[in-house]
């Protein structure tokens, strides 16, 4: 059996009362193992991380380094093998399935590489869907602000098949933001987009931080995308191996070169 984190013994425990100053979300001692015995993969190997409020953090690292696993464990889409996660003052790992689902719909936003919009609904209906399912009223003034920031005003009544890839991903971003979540997690949000659409989506994510005070954590392979971030973390073999503040594209390329040489 895997050892589990004791609720009282750091490292490996994040308690809502121990919030690091200014952190919107944080994790302690995150370990995720897939499979058992000789074929077991340790996708996360003890991650301690804080995400400051109203910052855009990018996560980079080689394929298989654990980026998606980290995002899924942070967002409560997957359970860590041990360790804990606190989002907006709530310890995610201690919630019942029902409370976790409610938290995901209202306190956490997630943007996937493949937009994941419902094809039969309009853009506007897609944006409010999580709140509609959770029976939480939509704050109309905030909805208008998000829609205006995302630049979709005249496309709101179109279905996804009538929108470009960049527009569809901006709908997905608006859907992630409309509940005013504690954190928006985006896993390669520009992975399917051309450079112009990527710039639109990244510009919006950055504005959501600078102008709306949103906290965003984004996985990307693209140094240009990462250069939109206030901070860039590097994962290697399930561990955080570098943490850069406001890096330029050059700084990011240098850090990636370093990671390849190690
Ligand atoms: N459901 C799963 N079952 C078994 N192994 C898994 C599962 N999901 C991920 N893994 C393994 O965990 C490791 C980390 O995977 P993860 O998807 O987090 O990597 P990543 O950094 O997101 O990679 P990429 O850049 O290719 O998306 C990999 O070795 C992967 O094969
Ligand atoms: Mg991935």
Q: Give every residue of the chain whose pLDDT is below 70, as ranges.
A: 1-14, 16-17, 259-262
> Which residues are registered as beta bridge partners of 260?
none
Where residue 138 falls (left for φ over 0; alpha for ψ -120 to 50; beta otherwise) is beta
CA 20: distance to chain centroid? 19
Number of domains the chain is built from: 1
The CA distance from 24 to 10, in Å, is 19
Q: What is the pLDDT of residue 220?
A: 96
Q: What is the pLDDT of residue 50?
A: 95
Task: Considering only CA atoms, give the Rg of the chain.
Answer: 18
Separation of CA 74 and ligand 1 centre (Å)? 15
The two counts, helices (H) then strands (E), for the chain are 8, 10
Separation of CA 240 and ligand 2 centre (Å)? 15
In a domain, 143, yes or no: yes
Q: Is 67 in the pocket of ligand 1 (CB under 6 A)?
A: yes
Q: Is 213 in the pocket of ligand 1 (CB under 6 A)?
A: no
Report the chain's terminal Cα–Cα distance, integer Å: 32
The CA distance from 89 to 78, in Å, is 19
Q: Is 66 in the pocket of ligand 1 (CB under 6 A)?
A: yes
3-state secondary structure of 7: coil
Q: What is the pLDDT of residue 260?
A: 61
Q: What is the pLDDT of residue 4?
A: 42
Separation of CA 44 and ligand 1 centre (Å)? 10
Q: What is the pLDDT of residue 94?
A: 83
Q: From the CA of 60, which ligand is nearest?
A: 1
Q: What is the pLDDT of residue 151?
A: 84
In a domain, 89, yes or no: no
DSSP 213-234: ---EEEE-S-HHHHTTSSEEEE
Closest residue to atom 6 of ligand 1, CA basis: 34
Contact assessment for residue 184 and residue 109, using Cβ atoms and an 8 Å cutoff? yes
In a domain, 43, yes or no: no
CATH number for position 247? 3.40.50.300
Closest residue to atom 31 of ligand 1, CA basis: 64
3-state secondary structure of 79: coil
Greatest extent of the chain over all pairs of C-alpha atoms, in Å: 55
In a domain, 8, yes or no: no
Residue with tokens 């995720």: 32
List of E strands, the chain: 23-34, 41-52, 56-60, 82-87, 90-91, 108-111, 183-187, 216-219, 231-236, 239-245
Separation of CA 67 and ligand 2 centre (Å)? 5
Looking only at the bridges linking them, the beta strands covering 23-34 and 183-187 are unpaired
In a domain, 149, yes or no: yes
Picking from 109, 117, 103, the residue whose alpha carbon sits closest to that of residue 180 is 109
In a domain, 37, yes or no: no
Q: How far is CA 242 from CA 20, 67, 221, in A?
A: 20, 14, 15
What is the sign, positive or negative, of the torsion defined by CA atoms of 35, 261, 56, 220? negative
Tokens describing residue 85: 């996660």
Q: What is the pLDDT of residue 11?
A: 52
In a domain, 158, yes or no: yes
In a domain, 38, yes or no: no
Q: What is the pLDDT of residue 237?
A: 96
Domain that holds residue 110: 52-76+95-261
């Amino acid at each position: 059996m895997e050892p589990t984190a004791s609720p009282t013994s750091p490292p490996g425990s994040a308690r809502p009362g121990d919030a690091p100053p200014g952190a919107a979300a944080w994790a302690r001692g995150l370990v995720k193992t897939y499979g058992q015995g000789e074929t077991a993969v340790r996708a996360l190997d003890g991650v301690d991380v804080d995400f400051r409020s109203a910052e855009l953090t990018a996560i980079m690292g080689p394929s298989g380094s654990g980026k998606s696993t980290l995002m899924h464990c942070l967002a409560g889409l997957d359970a860590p093998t041990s360790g804990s996660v606190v989002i907006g003052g709530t310890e995610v790992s201690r919630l019942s399935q029902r409370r976790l689902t409610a938290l995901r719909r209202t306190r956490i936003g997630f943007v996937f590489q493949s937009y994941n919009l419902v094809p039969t609904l309009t853009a506007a209906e897609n944006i409010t869907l999580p709140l509609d399912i959770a029976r939480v009223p939509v704050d109309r003034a905030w909805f208008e602000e998000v829609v205006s920031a995302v630049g979709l005003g005249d496309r709101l009544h179109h279905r996804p098949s009538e929108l470009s890839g960049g527009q569809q991903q901006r709908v997905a971003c608006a859907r992630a933001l409309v509940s005013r979540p504690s954190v928006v997690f985006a896993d390669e949000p520009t992975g399917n987009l051309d450079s112009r659409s990527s710039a639109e989506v990244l510009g919006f994510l950055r504005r959501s931080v600078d102008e709306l005070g949103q906290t965003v954590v984004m996985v990307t392979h693209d140094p240009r995308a990462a250069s939109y971030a206030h901070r860039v973390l590097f994962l290697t073999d399930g561990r955080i191996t570098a943490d850069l503040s406001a890096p330029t594209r050059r700084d990011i390329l240098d850090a990636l070169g370093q990671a390849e040489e190690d």
